[in-house]
């Protein structure tokens, strides 16, 4: 039996990785989450051990260092990019990761962790590893600091470490982000869908031409599994490799729901705003045996179909 730890497993991406792993007959999963932003509802379909604990819980670190796990997926983090408490962000995101690096290095346990396209800030796209790494907020900095610490471990970490810089991920399992604390951090796809279903006016920053690399959760899960099964160490981008504009998302939503939307455009109130992100996948192809398979059209159609069927939780064997 291969036993994996998933930190942040009650969250969007962690619960999807768990659901996919648990489909395999020879695999077991332990989810470790402090429930600061994740949601127990994501865990309902997952028949595995769940622990409420910090991702650098001493008992967990001792188990990892003793070689009790086949691999660690580290998804836990403060994921609200508007949090400005610098010390807290670095403690939770960066310090805890260093402890996981040490524990996994001690037992040569493979470690796959979540980095972010936030490391690029507003640098010119396409965004490539080692170029334009100019984060614009403490969240992006905390992820860049993780990548830098990890690189110091590559040579002596015999299990290998892969950092995945996710771009804008969307898909089932992110409902908690829509609902939490009045601060909506869900993907644009879910936000637009919820507004459309509530019969509300769809609004975009002027004039909806901002471009993002949106990546569907199915591709993100596959990238994680490939990273775990590989042997190399490094950090690489996980995106669709193609930027699409906000207006495209509205058009695809309209097609999927059989509606046409009259968008209201308003001034963007943010002084910092990423205008164009797009993953350069050359380093990804070197490190991972993976490439994205979903376009914005196929990913959004799949997602909207599931939302229409009332499926909110992570992708799982039952609904796939
Ligand atoms: N969703 C995206 O578009 C995106 C983009 C770039 C990077 N990421 C990164 O991917 C990872 C997963 O993000 P997500 O979208 O699933 O977010 P999420 O908020 O849904 O999941 C994060 C999970 O980590 C848990 N957590 C937070 N601090 C913890 C701690 N100290 N110990 C244990 N658990 C803790 C939360 O309770 C939550 O369940 C994060 O590291 C995030 O920074 C996500």
Complete domains list, the chain, with CATH: 2-172+214-241+278-293 (3.40.50.720)
Provide the whole-model pTM. Answer: 0.97
Q: Which of 76, 83, 175, 183 most suits a substitution to test ligand 1, by most atoms within 8 Å of the C-beta?
A: 76
- Judge whether 165 and 235 are in contact, CB under 8 Å: yes
The two beta strands, 110-116 and 211-212, are unpaired
Q: Which distant-in-sequence residues (6+ apart) come within 8 Å of 21 by Cβ? A: 4, 6, 27, 29, 225
| Ligand 1 centroid, distance to 255 Cα (angstroms) | 31
The neighbour count for residue 21, using CB atoms within 10 Å, is 22
| CA 218 / ligand 1 centre spacing (Å) | 17
Kindly give the distance from the C-alpha atom of residue 82 to the centroid of ligand 1, in angstroms, as a whole number.
14
Give me ligand 1 centre to Cα 33, in Å. 10
Among residues 304, 287, 297, the alpha carbon closest in space to that of 249 is found at 297
Site to substitute for ligand 1 among 77, 81, 98, 187, most atoms within 8 A of C-beta? 77
Q: How far is CA 146 from CA 94, 97, 188, 287, in A?
A: 5, 7, 26, 18
| Burial tier of 207 (Cβ tally within 10 Å: 0-12, 13-18, 19+) | exposed
CA of 195 to the centre of ligand 1 (A): 24
Instruction: Quote the pLDDT of residue 318.
Output: 45
Q: Which residues does 266 contact at the CB level (< 8 Å), separation at least 6?
A: 203, 204, 205, 206
Any ligand 1 atom below 6 A from CB of 140: no
Give the pLDDT score at 2: 97
314 to 102, 298, 304: CA distances (angstroms):
30, 17, 14
Positions annotated as catalytic residues are 139, 177
CA distances from 124 to 28, 217, 272 (A): 42, 25, 14
> For the chain, which residues score pLDDT lower than 70?
180-183, 317-320
Cβ of residue 119 lying under 6 Å from some atom of ligand 1 = no
Cα gap 176→42, rounded to integer Å: 9
Residue 162 token pair: 């892969």
Atom of ligand 1 nearest to the CA of 76: 24
Q: State if residue 114 touches ligand 1 by the CB under 6 angstroms criterion.
A: yes
pLDDT reported for residue 182: 64
Q: Quick check: CB of 13 below 6 Å from ligand 1? A: yes
Residue 176: partners with Cβ closer than 8 Å, 6 or more residues away:
11, 12, 37, 38, 39, 41, 42
For 127-138, how does the pLDDT look when each residue is reduced to its tens digit (9 = 90+)?
A: 999 999 999 999
Q: Given phi > 0 = left and psi -120 to 50 = alpha, else beta, which region is 162?
A: beta
């Amino acid at each position: 039996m291969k036993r994996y730890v998933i930190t942040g497993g009650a969250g969007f991406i962690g619960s999807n990785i768990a659901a996919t792993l648990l489909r395999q007959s020879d695999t077991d999963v332990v989810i470790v989450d402090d429930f600061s932003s994740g949601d127990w509802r994501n865990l309902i379909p997952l028949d595995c051990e769940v622990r409420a604990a910090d991702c650098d819980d001493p008992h967990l670190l001792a188990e990892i260092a003793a070689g009790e796990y086949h691999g660690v997926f580290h998804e836990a983090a403060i994921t609200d990019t508007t949090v400005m408490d610098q010390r807290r962000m670095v403690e939770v995101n960066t310090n805890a990761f260093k402890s996981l690096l040490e524990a996994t290095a001690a037992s040569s346990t493979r470690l796959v962790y979540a980095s972010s396209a936030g490391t690029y800030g507003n640098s010119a796209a396409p965004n490539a590893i080692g170029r334009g790494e100019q984060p614009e907020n403490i969240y992006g900095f905390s992820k860049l600091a993780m990548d830098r610490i990890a690189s110091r471990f590559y040579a002596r970490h015999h299990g290998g470490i892969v950092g995945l810089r996710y771009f804008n991920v969307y898909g089932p399992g992110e409902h908690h982000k829509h609902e939490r604390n009045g601060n909506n951090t869900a993907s644009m796809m879910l936000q637009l869908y919820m507004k459309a279903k509530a019969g509300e006016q769809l609004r975009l920053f002027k004039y909806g031409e901002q471009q993002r690399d949106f990546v569907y959760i199915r591709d993100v899960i596959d990238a994680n599994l490939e990273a775990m099964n590989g042997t190399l160490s490094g950090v690489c981008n996980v995106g669709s490799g193609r930027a699409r504009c906000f207006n495209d998302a509205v058009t695809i939503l309209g097609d999927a729901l059989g509606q046409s939307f009259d968008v209201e455009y308003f001034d963007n109130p943010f002084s910092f705003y990423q205008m164009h992100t797009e993953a350069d996948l050359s380093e990804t192809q070197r490190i991972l045996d993976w490439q994205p398979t979903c376009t914005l059209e196929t990913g959004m159609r799949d997602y909207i179909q599931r939302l229409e069927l009332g499926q909110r939780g992570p992708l799982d064997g039952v609904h796939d």
